[in-house]
């Protein structure tokens, strides 16, 4: 029997964030991109010390990492990486994508998932020119949003850097980590905004309470 020389390159989505805490909109975005682009898996990467939030108080990295693991545990195509949490100093996206690329050589393609609002500011990111060249981008937009400015920036990045950029449109889910933290501090329920395992973890460690040190 003749052996097949076909070699399938794995296709991985990458979703980063502080995840403080991770919530159902994060999970819905991940699942939507997974299905739309027919990816093999989504890698969730909680940030260590995000440069844009260096002066903000964020929950300890080990808590955020564990909440992300609990939230994604039931989906066999969701994975969590501690690579940014374990990295010393400020963590930039370009460093993460370099590391993923170098570890996998030609065995995988990566698709960095980003919201439209964040992508519009891509030129303010550290080493954004390199980032646009070394990874695919998936820009998530909302139904009914005005994409004129976004489309211009996407076309500019494609023309100047040869960037591969995909747009995925999803329903607008008004869920934010800021609001969840505020609700917990006020003693309000968050059961339908975040996975139940994360709710229990927040209660167990008294996260986001006004009495939390």
Q: Is 33 a member of any domain?
A: yes
Q: Is 72 a member of any domain?
A: yes
The tens place of each residue's pLDDT in the chain, 213 residues long, gives 444 456 689 999 999 999 999 999 999 999 999 999 999 999 999 998 766 655 568 999 999 999 999 999 999 999 999 999 999 888 899 999 999 998 887 789 999 999 999 999 999 999 999 999 999 999 999 887 788 999 999 999 999 999 999 999 999 888 999 999 999 999 999 999 999 999 999 999 999 987 654
pTM, to two decimals: 0.92
Q: Is 182 a member of any domain?
A: no
Per-residue pLDDT at 5: 53
Per-residue pLDDT at 138: 98
d(CA 72, CA 75): 6
d(CA 55, CA 67): 22
Q: Is 213 a member of any domain?
A: no
User: What CATH number did the domain enclosing 40 receive?
Assistant: 3.40.50.620
Number of domains in the chain: 1
160-169 CB burial, b ≥16 within 10 A, e <16: eeebebebbb
* Residue with tokens 């850097």, as numbered in its chain: 161
Per-residue pLDDT at 1: 42
Per-residue pLDDT at 14: 98
The residues near 51 (Cβ < 8 Å, ≥ 6 apart) are 90, 91, 92, 126
CA angle, residues 179, 184, 189, in degrees to nearest 5: 95
Q: Is 180 a member of any domain?
A: no
Task: Dump pLDDT digits (tens) for 17-42.
Answer: 999 999 999 999 999 999 999 999 99
Q: Is 127 a member of any domain?
A: yes
> Domain containing 109: what range?
10-174
Per-residue pLDDT at 7: 67
Q: Is 186 a member of any domain?
A: no
Q: Is 203 a member of any domain?
A: no
């Amino acid at each position: 029997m003749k052996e097949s020389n076909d070699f399938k390159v794995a296709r991985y989505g990458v979703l980063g964030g502080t995840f403080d805490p991770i919530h159902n909109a994060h999970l819905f975005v991940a699942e939507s991109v997974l299905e739309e682009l027919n990816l093999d898996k989504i890698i969730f990467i909680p940030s260590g010390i995000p440069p844009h939030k260096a002066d903000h108080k964020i929950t300890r990295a080990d808590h955020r990492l564990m909440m992300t693991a609990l939230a994604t545990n039931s989906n066999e195509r969701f994975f969590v990486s501690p690579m940014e949490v374990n990295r010393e100093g400020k963590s930039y996206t370009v460093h993460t994508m370099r590391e993923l690329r170098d570890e996998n050589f030609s065995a995988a393609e990566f698709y960095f998932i980003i919201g439209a609002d964040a992508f519009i500011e891509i030129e303010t990111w550290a080493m954004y020119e390199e980032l646009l060249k070394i990874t695919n981008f998936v820009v998530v937009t909302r139904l009914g949003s005005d994409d004129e400015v976004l489309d211009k920036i996407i076309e500019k990045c494609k023309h100047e850097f040869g960037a591969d950029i995909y747009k995925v449109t999803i329903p607008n889910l008004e869920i934010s980590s800021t609001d969840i933290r505020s609700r917990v501090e006020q003693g309000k329920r968050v059961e339908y905004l975040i996975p139940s395992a994360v709710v229990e973890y927040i209660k167990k460690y008294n996260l986001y309470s006004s009495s939390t040190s």
